[in-house]
Structure 1
Amino acid sequence: MIATDGRRERKKAETRTRIREAALDLFASQGYRETTIAQIAARADVATRTVTLHFPAKDDLLFADDPFTPESLEERLRARTAESTLDAVGDWMHATMRELDARDHDSGADPAHLWQRRALRAGLLMADDDLRGRARAGYRDLELLIAAGIGADLGLPADALLPRLAAVTVVTGLREIYVTREGRTRSAASELSDLVDEVLAFARAGLRDRSAAPDPRGSAVRDE
């Protein structure tokens, strides 16, 4: 029974992947709005109902199963001790990226394919107003977690301006990596990691500069 369940889950995962791959190819070649569920089903060689069972809404094909989840970030932030929030965020990003590369390597897949597809997905999201809006809303939980952590580091409320600015900077920067000139030319976690570090360094610099400035109310904002 356990073996049967395992095969069933593997087949389900393979079907989801095939459908998502077919959708990305069609979105890229003929446009997101112009692509129909029937076309995706035909490309993936499955029934139309199979597509909607796995992905009830069309935009789920671009948003479901993202590995960089708020739940995993929250767990990583909860586990930190002396490290800053930005250090923990960097470790979470790097660890998740390494896990994705290792997963593809173990399965015999080319890890470069994953990052190329994420870059393709990012370009599709940026090109469509509705998709861009959903992406922005989907990143809000990450922003709130990072803002709360930075606020705790600085002795400020999570909804204070400085933690919110830093959190938005980090999440926006990480999202933008895939659509930058640098990000589009890199195809491995090890190559993309430098760009993650650049985003975090930019946020740290902003926190340092703001912390060194006098508070207009007569006090100084404490650094990390």
Structure 2
Amino acid sequence: MIANDGRRERKKAQTRARIQDAALDLFAGQGYRETTIAQIAARADVATRTVTLHFPAKEDLLFADDPFTPESLAARLRDRQPESTLDAVREWMHATMRELDERDRATGVDPAHLWQRRALRADLLMADDDLRGRARAGYRDLELLIAEAIGEDLGLPTDALLPRLAAVTVVTGLREIYVTREGRARTAASELAGLVDEVLAFAKAGLRTAPA
């Protein structure tokens, strides 16, 4: 029974990934709004109902299963002492990226595929006002977590300007990596990690030079 359950879950995950890949290809080729669920189902070789069972809303094809979750960041920030918040965020990003690469290698998938898909997804989000707005709202929880933790580091309330400004800088910078010239040229976690470090270093410099 346990073995059967494991196979069932792997098959389910493979189907989800195939549907998302099909959706991204179609969105990129003919536009997000012009693509129908029926077209996605045909490209993924599944029934239309299978697509909607996995992704009830069309937007979910772009926003579901993001590995950089507020829950995992919150857990990392709770354990950050004696690290600073920005050091903890850096390690959280690096660890999550390594885990994603290791997962793909274990299943025989080229790790570069994930990072190429994330770059394609970022382009699609930037090109559509509604999708860009939802993406911005989705990053809100990450910003609030980082702002609260930076406030604790500095002895400031969460809604003080400096923690909020630093948090927005970090989250925006990490999001922008995928649509930059540098980000497009890198397709491995080890390469993208250097850009993560640049974002965190920029935010650190801002905190160091801010008025007391």
Q: TM-score, normalised by structure 1?
A: 0.94
Q: Which runs of 5+ in 2 are unaligned?
A: none
State the shift of 1:3 in Å. 1.2
Q: 1:103 and 1:180 mapped to 2: Cα distance?
A: 26
1:1-224, aligned counterparts within 5 Å? 1-210=1-210, 213=211, 221=212
Per-residue deviation, residues 74-130 of structure 1 (Å, max 9, x unmatched): 000001111000000000000000001111111111011110000000000000000
- State the partner residue of 1:218: none
Q: TM-score, normalised by structure 2?
A: 0.99
Q: 2:194 and 2:13 mapped to 1: Cα distance?
A: 31
Code of the aligned partner of 2:158 = A
Code of the aligned partner of 1:111 = P
Q: 1:7 and 1:113 mapped to 2: Cα distance?
A: 23
Per-residue deviation, residues 165-219 of structure 1 (Å, max 9, x unmatched): 0000000000000000000010000100110000001101111110xx3xxxxxx
Please provide the CA RMSD for this pair.
0.5
Q: Select the structure of larger CA radius of gyration.
A: 1
Per-residue deviation, residues 40-85 of structure 1 (Å, max 9, x unmatched): 0000000101000000000000000000000000000001111000
SS in 1 for 2:67: coil
Q: 1:68 and 1:4 mapped to 2: Cα distance?
A: 29
Q: 1:81 and 1:208 mapped to 2: Cα distance?
A: 19
Count of residue correspondences: 212
SS in 1 for 2:90: helix
Paired-residue identity, %: 84
Q: 1:128 and 1:145 mapped to 2: Cα distance?
A: 27
Runs of 4+ with deviation above 6 angstroms: none
Code of the aligned partner of 1:208 = R
